[in-house]
């Protein structure tokens, strides 16, 4: 007897093979002589139909089995006469691990995302969220596969840090003990970025990347922000802004191609029920070159072609999400990379351009999301880096190690960060970041 997953059965050819499947009951339909049970084991979107005949000793129990119950079914895998499925399982023995009560909240109907967030411990059992988190798993693998193929070394940067990676966002403070004594002898925080640490290793290993959790203490309840999320952050030595933009474009094309090839069934759910234009958006990402324009050119385009914005477009100020989406959706209808931002709205570590007004920064904007990636060529000149720190009232002593890296064998280097959850929103069409994280952490919400 062989235990199999539903996913394995989808490509199975042999009939009349005795198998065992373990999973959860999705639906039950009872007739006069047969009971049909849909069992899903989480391996794929499809469920397996189990047929229980009235002559079997456990028929009465199975004719009343409830949605959500956990079962182990042993039987023969046979061709199915039902339309839309190649096989069904003719039961010979059933073990019920636990019979769910009638109050099980996931019944055979569509539930709102808001309701499912209130039962986040159960929502992976739905079709939509089962598909979402299988895609999340596959995309995490694809990230590692891509960067390994490109010769990057994986780096595990600190989660607890004394650095605030200035400009990356508000910080959560970390204390030890009920009285909050300073465990480390100085203030400690949850990291907002692994970038500064990654730069140090890029200046030794050449190419590195981090892929881990980051934290922002911003009291924001937008659909694109969470207090805890995951970031992919590559850093490259002997690289400039053009190299960073090239890597950003190439990596996104690879990741979108990967999900389209390896997650077809799960992705089909989102194209059918979440965003009917999703396939076209993804196809344009992989088939067309991204647009590249300076920040100044972007401002001019927005002033010329845009109207009705909630926030005004002003050179020297950060673009809002509505501006970024207008560029990607209305003007270019594809991803666009903006570069050379005003120095006053960017962090100290971004390389000062020759005009001394802008820095070699870049943001990759995509339809429906806005900013997906943000990075720069890093300032490799110690004197200019120190000047930029002074201008932003940063302590040279606190960043002494960062400054020293520009003294001993400094080289041009560049990198960026990509929000992993925003990538998942892009490839699935899901509009709220809370629905691509297993257990979202947002202001006022730390349940589960």
| Confidence category of residue 398, pLDDT binned at 50, 70, 90 | confident
Q: Could you tell me which CATH number the domain at 2-98 has? A: 2.40.50.140
Q: What is the pLDDT of residue 167?
A: 55
Q: Does domain 117-435 have CATH number 3.40.50.970?
A: no
Q: What's the DSSP call for residue 392?
A: T
Q: What is the pLDDT of residue 223?
A: 84
Number of CB atoms found within 10 A of residue 287's CB: 10
Report which of residues 204 and 166 the model is more confident about: 204
Question: For 278-333, what is each residue's pLDDT tens digit?
Answer: 999 999 999 999 999 999 999 999 999 888 899 999 999 999 999 999 999 999 99
Report which of residues 273 and 176 the model is more confident about: 273
Biggest CA pair distance of the chain:
86
Cα-based angle 87, 92, 93 (whole degrees, multiple of 5): 115
Distance between CA atoms of residues 62 and 31, nearest Å: 12
Question: For 340-365, what is each residue's pLDDT tens digit?
Answer: 999 999 999 999 999 999 999 999 99
* pLDDT value at 180 more than 60: no
Average pLDDT value over all residues in the chain: 93
Question: For 38-71, what is each residue's pLDDT tens digit?
Answer: 999 999 999 999 999 999 999 999 999 999 999 9
Q: If we measure between CA atoms, which residue out of 425, 427, 448 comes closest to residue 255?
A: 427
Distance between CA atoms of residues 133 and 110, nearest Å: 18
Task: Give the residue range(s) of CATH 2.40.50.140 domains in the chain.
Answer: 2-98
For a pLDDT cut of 90, what percent of the chain falls above it?
Answer: 80
Token pair, residue 216, equals: 């922002």
Q: What is the pLDDT of residue 360?
A: 98
With 0-12 CB in 10 A as exposed, 13-18 as middle and 19+ as buried, what is 272?
A: exposed
Task: Give the residue range(s) of CATH 3.30.930.10 domains in the chain.
Answer: 117-435
Q: What's the DSSP call for residue 344?
A: G
Question: For 99-145, what is each residue's pLDDT tens digit?
Answer: 999 999 998 888 999 999 999 999 999 999 999 999 999 999 999 99
**Enclosing H/E stretch for 39:** strand 34-40
Handedness of CA 362, 366, 370, 372 (dihedral sign): negative
Q: Contact at 8 Å (CB) between 232 and 209?
A: yes
**Enclosing H/E stretch for 215:** strand 207-215
Question: For 83-95, what is each residue's pLDDT tens digit?
Answer: 777 889 999 999 9
Q: What is the pLDDT of residue 4?
A: 80
Q: Contact at 8 Å (CB) between 189 and 162?
A: yes
Q: What is the pLDDT of residue 75?
A: 94
**Helix/strand/coil for 3:** strand
* pLDDT value at 264 more than 90: yes
Q: Contact at 8 Å (CB) between 146 and 251?
A: yes
Distance between CA atoms of residues 66 and 372, nearest Å: 43
Beta bridge partners of 176: 181
Token pair, residue 360, equals: 């070699």
Check: pTM over 0.85? Answer yes or no: yes
Number of CB atoms found within 10 A of residue 168's CB: 19
Distance between CA atoms of residues 320 and 298, nearest Å: 12
Q: What is the pLDDT of residue 307?
A: 85
Name 204's Cβ contacts closer than 8 Å, sequence gap at least 6.
none
Q: What is the pLDDT of residue 81?
A: 81
Q: What is the pLDDT of residue 109?
A: 83
Number of CB atoms found within 10 A of residue 75's CB: 22
What CA–CA distances, in Å, run from 145 to 119, 136, 254? 33, 14, 10
């Amino acid at each position: 007897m062989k235990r199999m997953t539903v996913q394995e059965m989808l490509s199975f050819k042999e009939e009349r093979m005795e198998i065992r499947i373990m999973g959860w009951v999705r639906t039950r339909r009872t007739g006069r002589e047969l009971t049909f049970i849909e069992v899903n084991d989480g391996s794929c979107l499809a469920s397996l139909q189990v047929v229980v005949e009235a002559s079997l000793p456990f028929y009465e129990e199975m004719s009343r089995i409830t949605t959500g119950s956990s079962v182990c079914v042993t039987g023969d895998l046979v061709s199915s006469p039902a339309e839309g499925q190649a096989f069904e399982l003719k039961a010979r023995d059933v073990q019920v691990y636990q019979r769910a009560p009638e109050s099980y909240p996931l019944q055979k109907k569509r539930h709102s995302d808001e309701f499912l967030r209130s039962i986040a411990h159960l929502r992976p059992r739905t079709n939509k969220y089962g598909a979402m988190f299988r895609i999340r798993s596959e995309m995490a693998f694809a990230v590692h596969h891509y960067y390994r193929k490109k010769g990057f070394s994986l780096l595990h940067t600190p989660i607890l840090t004394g650095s605030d990676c200035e400009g990356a966002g508000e910080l959560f403070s970390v204390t030890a003990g009920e009285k909050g004594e300073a465990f480390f002898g100085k203030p400690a925080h949850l990291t907002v970025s692994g970038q500064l640490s990654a730069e140090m290793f890029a200046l030794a290993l050449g190419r590195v990347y981090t892929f881990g959790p980051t934290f922002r203490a911003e009291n924001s309840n937008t659909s694109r922000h969470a207090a805890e999320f995951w970031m992919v952050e590559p850093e490259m030595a002997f690289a400039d802004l053009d190299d960073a933009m090239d890597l950003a474009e190439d990596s996104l094309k690879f990741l979108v191609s990967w999900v389209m090839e390896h997650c077809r069934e799960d992705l089909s759910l989102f194209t059918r029920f979440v965003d009917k234009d999703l396939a076209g958006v993804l196809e344009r990402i992989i088939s067309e070159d991204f647009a590249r324009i300076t920040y100044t050119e972007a401002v001019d385009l927005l002033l010329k072609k845009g109207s009705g914005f909630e926030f005004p477009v002003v050179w020297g100020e950060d673009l809002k999400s509505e501006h970024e989406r207008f560029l990607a959706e209305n003007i270019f209808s594809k991803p666009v990379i903006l570069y050379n931002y005003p120095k006053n709205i960017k962090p100290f570590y971004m390389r000062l351009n020759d005009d001394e007004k802008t820095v070699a920064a870049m943001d990759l904007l995509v339809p429906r999301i806005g900013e997906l990636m943000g990075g720069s060529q890093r300032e490799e000149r110690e004197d200019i880096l120190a000047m930029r720190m002074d201008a932003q009232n940063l302590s040279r002593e606190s960043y002494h190690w960062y400054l020293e890296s520009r003294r001993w064998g400094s080289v041009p280097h560049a990198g960026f960060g990509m929000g992993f959850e925003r990538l998942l929103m892009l490839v699935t069409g899901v509009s709220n970041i809370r629905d691509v994280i297993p257990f979202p952490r947002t202001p006022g919400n730390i349940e589960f």
